[in-house]
Every structure is written in C-alpha cells, then in structure tokens.
C-alpha cells in the first residue's frame, strides 16, 4: 500500500483535492485530519480538557464549543494555540495511524492518503512515502478566505502567520499541485499523478 500525505495552506484547495482524489480512486483509503478534529470537538471529555487548558469562555452556554471565541483566542495568542495543538494533535495522529494500519490489512486498498493541514508545522509523520502539496499564491488564499469565511484582514494574517510560508511548503513537498486555475485544471493534475503511480 502506497502512503501519501496531502497538505497545503488554508484556502489553497486541499480539501477539494482530497474530494477529487476520492472520486477518481474510490478504493483509496482517506484520512481527513479536519474531520478528526471536528469529531474530537464533539466529545465531552475533549471539550473539558480544552476548557481546563484554555479557559477564556471557549465553551458556550449550551455546553458546546464557541468556535468564534476559540479561533480568536488561539490565532491571537501563540501560546494558547500551542496548548490547543498539543492537546489535539496526538489524538488525531493516533486516529490516523489506526486507520492506516486497518487500511494496510485490506488487500483491495492500494493507496492511503492523509489530509494533514499542518503536516510540516507539527512534524506529523506516519511513514508516508510522499508529501503532496496543494499550493496557491497568498493573494488567492486571502481572496478565498474573505469570500468563503468573511474573515477580516487581521484574522487572515494571524491564520497565515500560524502556518509555514507557502514557498517553504512547496520546497518541502515531493509533488506540488498548483491550484490557481479552474477545478478542471486541478483535476487533470491529480489524475495525471494517479496514472503515473
């Protein structure tokens, strides 16, 4: 089984690339770190750990996570972000390794891909053969974040500053998919990659 990491910056189209990969190769095993985090953030035990570690009213009145407050807190304070990452990343990595192991026992699974947004920043290693990077210009990231999430410039800058610069991700990637064009162009790049395996 071939094992790949898929990464990129926020709003570069990494999740879209993951969806295209899964459509092009339905037998592929896929692990999405963002989905893992969303699942963890619904667990009472994890929410309690976050509340104890960060305080600051990140848990709303209904007992669920106040995502807006959490986002403002961790992207406005590097130490708080580090605490949150140290709490969540080991749990996500454990789930990823479990899925990788389970997938390796399935003879029909030829490829395992894990979508890891902070692959290089967090040192998230799961014995992958290649690191695949979906990249765009910073201007495109900013435009997409404004259109998609309606973030202010200050929040966008804080989020981008929490990630490695795109050129460094490109330099550390083994395969780069440039996503400044249409979905069809991205799909052609991904399809060519799969055909060349």
- The predicted-structure confidence for 127-162, as pLDDT tens digits, reads as follows 999 999 999 999 999 999 999 999 999 989 989 998
Exposure b/e, 1-21, CB count within 10 A at least 16 = b: eebbbbbbbbbbbbbebbebb
DSSP 108-134: T--EEEEE-TTHHHHT--S--SEEEEE
Distance from C-alpha of 185 to C-alpha of 179, rounded to nearest angstrom: 8
Exposure b/e, 103-138, CB count within 10 A at least 16 = b: beeeeeeebbbbbbbbbbbbebebebebbbbbbbee
What pLDDT was estimated at residue 5? 98
Coil/strand/helix, residue 5: strand
pLDDT at 30 over 80: yes
Model-level pTM?
Answer: 0.90
Calculate the average pLDDT of the chain.
93
Fold that domain 2-196 belongs to in CATH: Rossmann fold (3.40.50)
pLDDT at 164 over 90: yes
Average the pLDDT over 35-51 and give the result. 93
What pLDDT was estimated at residue 69? 87
Binned at pLDDT 50, 70 and 90, residue 56 comes out as low
Owner of token pair 């080991």:
90
Average the pLDDT over 76-97 and give the result. 93
């Amino acid at each position: 089984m071939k094992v790949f990491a898929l990464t990129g910056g926020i709003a570069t189209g990494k999740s879209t690339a993951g969806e295209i990969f899964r459509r092009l190769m339905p037998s592929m095993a896929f692990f999405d770190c963002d989905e893992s985090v969303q699942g963890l953030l619904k667990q009472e035990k994890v929410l309690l750990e976050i509340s104890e570690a960060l305080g600051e009213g990140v848990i709303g009145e209904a007992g669920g996570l106040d995502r807006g407050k959490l986002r403002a807190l961790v992207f406005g304070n590097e130490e708080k972000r580090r605490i949150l990452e140290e709490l969540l990343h080991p749990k996500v990595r454990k789930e990823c390794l479990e899925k990788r192991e389970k997938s390796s026992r399935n003879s029909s699974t030829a490829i395992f891909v894990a979508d890891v947004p902070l692959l290089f920043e967090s040192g998230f290693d799961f014995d992958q053969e290649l690191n695949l990077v979906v990249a765009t210009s910073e201007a495109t990231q900013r435009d997409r974040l404004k259109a998609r999430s309606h973030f202010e410039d200050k929040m966008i800058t804080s989020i981008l500053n929490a990630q490695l610069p795109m050129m460094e991700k490109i330099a550390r990637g083994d395969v780069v998919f440039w996503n400044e064009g249409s979905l069809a162009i991205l799909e052609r790049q991904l399809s060519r990659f799969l055909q060349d395996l």
